[in-house]
Amino acid sequence: MTIDTEPRLYEVRIGGFGDDEGALALTEPIARLLCPDEWHEGPCEVPWGFSLAGTDGAELVVGIYTTESTAAEILARVRALAGPDHPSALTTGDPGLFPDVITQYEIEHGTAPQ
């Protein structure tokens, strides 16, 4: 199995919430996991954002733009934070769901279209 070293959009999908309010309650702890110092200078090491999915909003989706190995590390940290009642999985990201995360990466790395 080869690990992709090129950064791209991934999603960490966290389920097991009864409603969107339950899912939204996890956004701040995950934000601090991804960005421990919210007032740091410069961009975050890994661009990220949140969305809700599922018919009742019972799934929190974290969009991250990074390499496969870093995405796997983030998944492990999110799983530890969310606990066994909230199963988590790593999937390929949907660009339509997280255009701001992609734009942030492109601007920060000088790859934005001119």
Whether 52 is covered by a domain: the verdict is: yes
Instruction: For residue 38, count other CB atoms closer than 10 A to its CB.
Output: 10
CATH number for the domain spanning 72: value is 3.30.70
For residue 49, what are the domain limits?
Answer: 8-84
**Total domains in the fold of the chain:** 1
- Res. 113: pLDDT tops 60: no
Contact 108, 46 (CB under 8 A): no
Contact 26, 100 (CB under 8 A): no
pTM metric for this prediction: 0.89
Whether 57 is covered by a domain: the verdict is: yes
Whether 51 is covered by a domain: the verdict is: yes
Q: What is the pLDDT of residues 36-52, one digit of tens each?
A: 888 888 788 899 999 99
Whether 104 is covered by a domain: the verdict is: no
Whether 99 is covered by a domain: the verdict is: no
Q: Given strand 48-53, what is the order of strands in its sheet?
A: 48-53, 59-66, 8-14, 88-92
Whether 66 is covered by a domain: the verdict is: yes
